[in-house]
Structure 1
Amino acid sequence: MLEVKRLQKVYDTFELDCSFTVKSGRVTGLIGQNGAGKSTAFKAILGLIAKDSGKIVMFGKDIEQFTNQDKEQIGVALADSGFSGYLRIKDILPVLQAMYAEFDKEFFLRQMKHFHLPMDKKIKDFSTGMKAKLKVLVAVSHHAKLLILDEPTAGLDVVARDELLDILREFMEEDEERAILISSHISADLETLCDDLYMIDNGKIVLHEDSDVLLSDYAILKLDKQQFDTIDKQYILRVKKEVYGYRCLTNQKRYYLENYPEMVIEKGTIDDVILMMVRGNEQ
């Protein structure tokens, strides 16, 4: 569906150099702290900024050769973009009909009603949750094959996030050939939605793992100095010195459970992985 090969973009104080793949039928998450390169990668993929080098292939075609018809197969919701606040939904409706040959007006209007988005109210008067829902609903209303969503749940309360995630789940259930590339700093969203995760740090991919594997096999070991000195470190990915001793990230939880039953071993979360991969030291 999407293949990014050695995508490079260099700024004065930051360099993006990453590769990743989004496969059909899967939801792929791009995780990392703010400033790690997520938004830069998304904008380069969409042609909103010029890449310095690398190759981006979407639907089996280099994006530099994309036609307007090709672009209609992409649904986009970016964190720092949206409609003019002085427009109303009824104002943008004819625009969407003109932009997308397969815009589903009936579906769009039905969703507006379902999520209580007023047709006659100016968008600047919408709540944060209403604006987020509108952006995502626009992205899914023209039968796109691939959604590219940058922080779509940022600033939303728990109920609004769950409603928005339901929209994305329904999008995937309707067609097994569809795919989603999504970034979010809210780990709970990614744990329940994504099939696989790439972690980006300082412009580079530092980890790629299936979500199920990450949640089942990754763990945090909490060790005192004696335990740390004697433990088998072959499956330890990162180490962070703490007041009590050491905090270690492993991707082989079962190995340490079976061989070191006396140790404190906690289930690893996405937040734990991000923290340890960024702040921990390699072994």
Structure 2
Amino acid sequence: MSAPLATLDDDRTYEEIYSQGIIVDPAPHLEHSVRIKNVKKSFGSFDVLTGLNLNFVDDAITTVLGPSGTGKSVLLKHIVGLLEPDSGVVEVFGNDIWHISEKERQEIRKRFGVLFQDGALFGSMNIFDNVAFPLRKHTKKRESEIREIVMGHLDEVGLTRAVSKYPGEVSGGMKKRAGFARALVLNPSVVMFDEPDSGLDPVRTSLLNDLILKMHAEHGGTYVLVTHDIRTARKVSDYVGVVWQGKLIHYGETEEAFNSDMPFVRQFLSGDSVGPLGMD
């Protein structure tokens, strides 16, 4: 696939991209385990995804940016098979996940790790048991093996001294780090982050970003981030996709996005009040 790059200095072309989206693969020579093809999704009369196309590059960190309500979190739910599109194709590891059985979808989900906004820890379990949960549910490993794996990941995220604490006893940043450790225990091929920096101050956001980069360097995998934080996107991303009104309107390497002349992309990434994006 190729992007309509030849006339991007033409305002009419910008309007066409805003209204129709783009079909683009920033690295066609690389592998893509997750492909989103013309996906549409509505809830009642509210159109959320309106024809979104996006191929995620394997073993890279891709950040999806866009205004609130434009379908970023809904996109994540489609990728992991929690939402079925009204039309279009969600292809994961070579499978159209809505043309396979529920059992096969469940097996595919085991190859995903997800870090939710607040960590989504079980309040009745301590940190160790929260991180061990996927191993106990989806594998037949002995407790000694589980302990070795869990403690290894808790060490990576700096939580070995908090194993016996409960979610209500730790900070928001510690919850996110525990959620990150849990997302990694099954050695996933794809790790998804739904606003990982939500609720964190700038320093802890930066530290979490460092951790994301460190874990990706050590474990590899395809990382997909959804965020509003521009600094996070610039710091951790190999690729940046910008979504507006349910469509992909920009996709490319990080510096390309931050140097874009497209009015919406420039406005959104700079936080300017002047441009196509208004209060509505």
Distance in 2 between residues matched to 1:41 and 1:171, nearest whole Å? 23
> For the aligned residues, what is the CA RMSD?
2.9
Question: Secondary structure of 2:83's match?
Answer: coil
> Which residue of the partner structure matches residue 99 of structure 1?
137
Unmatched runs of 5 consecutive residues or more in structure 1: 219-235, 240-247, 250-267
Distance in 2 between residues matched to 1:70 and 1:174, nearest whole Å? 23
Letter in 2 for 1:43: K
TM-score normalized with structure 1 length: 0.72
Matched, 1:144 2:188: yes
Larger radius of gyration: 1
> Which residue of the partner structure matches residue 7 of structure 1?
39
Matched, 1:200 2:243: yes
Distance in 1 between residues matched to 2:38 and 2:252, nearest whole Å? 19
Question: Secondary structure of 2:134's match?
Answer: helix
Distance in 2 between residues matched to 1:156 and 1:214, nearest whole Å? 25
Q: 1:71 Cα deviation (Å)?
A: 2.0
Distance 1:214 1:172, change over 3 A: same
Distance 1:5 1:128, change over 3 A: same
Matched, 1:185 2:228: yes
> Which residue of the partner structure matches residue 227 of structure 1?
none
Contact kept? 2:115, 2:183, Cα under 8 Å: yes
2:215 is aligned, of 167, 171, 175, to: 171
Correspondence list, 1:1-283, <5 A: 1-11=33-43, 12-17=45-50, 18-64=52-98, 65=100, 66-79=104-117, 82-101=120-139, 105-113=147-155, 115-116=158-159, 118-175=162-219, 178-215=221-258, 217-218=259-260, 237-238=262-263, 249=266, 270-272=269-271, 276=275, 278-279=277-278
Unmatched runs of 5 consecutive residues or more in structure 2: 1-32
Question: Secondary structure of 1:14's match?
Answer: strand
Letter in 2 for 1:73: R
Question: Secondary structure of 1:40's match?
Answer: helix
Distance in 2 between residues matched to 1:154 and 1:21, nearest whole Å? 25
Distance in 1 between residues matched to 2:273 and 2:82, nearest whole Å? 27
Q: 1:143 Cα deviation (Å)?
A: 1.1
Per-residue CA deviations over 1:75-127 (Å, capped at 9, x if unaligned) read 11222671222221233355222234489643431443552362222212322
Distance 1:140 1:203, change over 3 A: same
Distance 1:211 1:10, change over 3 A: same
Distance in 1 between residues matched to 2:54 and 2:223, nearest whole Å? 13
Identity of aligned residues (%): 20
Q: 1:131 Cα deviation (Å)?
A: 1.3
Contact kept? 1:31, 1:198, Cα under 8 Å: yes
Count residues in correspondence. 235
Question: Secondary structure of 1:79's match?
Answer: coil
Per-residue CA deviations over 1:26-62 (Å, capped at 9, x if unaligned) read 1111101111111111112222223211111112222
> Which residue of the partner structure matches residue 225 of structure 1?
none
TM-score normalized with structure 2 length: 0.73
Question: Secondary structure of 2:263's match?
Answer: strand
Distance 1:141 1:61, change over 3 A: same
Structure 1 ranges of 4+ moved more than 4 A: 102-105, 272-275
Contact kept? 1:32, 1:274, Cα under 8 Å: no
